[in-house]
Structures are given as C-alpha cells and as structure tokens.
Structure 1
C-alpha cells in the first residue's frame, strides 16, 4: 500500500486541477474554485511528501 498511495494522491491532484480549470471556464464562484484548488494543493503536497524518504 505504501508505494501506491503517492500515485493515487498525485492522480487525485491532477483530477482536481482539471476540475479547477473546468470550474473557471464555467464561471463558477471564486469560493468553489479556491476550495477545489486548495484540495488539489493538499493532495499534491501529500503525494510529494509521501515520496520523501524518512527514518522509519
């Protein structure tokens, strides 16, 4: 499971970025665009941080 989690998180980040682009093109509210963008950044950060080797 530990090797597939970052791939899933990075894939989720990509899907959410696509959602941000789609929301912006459709003229959605700034709040909804910002919310989805924040979730995309969290998923991206989680995926990248998971790949950093640790002491354990």
Structure 2
C-alpha cells in the first residue's frame, strides 16, 4: 500500500454521512517548504468548520 492508498483509507474512515453536512478534502501546496498538506474538513450548514490534517507529503 502506498501513501496515496493510505490517505484514501483515512478519508474513508472519517467520512460519515450526516444530514446537512459538507465534506471537503483540501490539498495545500507549500511552495517554500516543498511540502503538500492534505486536510479533511467538514461542517454543518451554519456551523463552524472542523479541519484535521491527514498527511504531509514531500512535493516533487
């Protein structure tokens, strides 16, 4: 299993179908540190966003 497969498994574990909930996977490329951060974010409509870092990878 490579890193991408492990990240997909982590996302599937966190994804729980809830009514009126928006789910996002955010990929952030940090050009100066040459890293890529992957975050799992979710929020209910009208509520604050919850964000959790899933992985930090070296960019190529």
TM-score by length of 2: 0.29
TM-score by length of 1: 0.30
Q: Which has the higher helix share?
A: 1
Give the number of the structure with larger relative contact order, counting CA–CA contacts within 8 Å between residues 6 or more apart.
Answer: 1
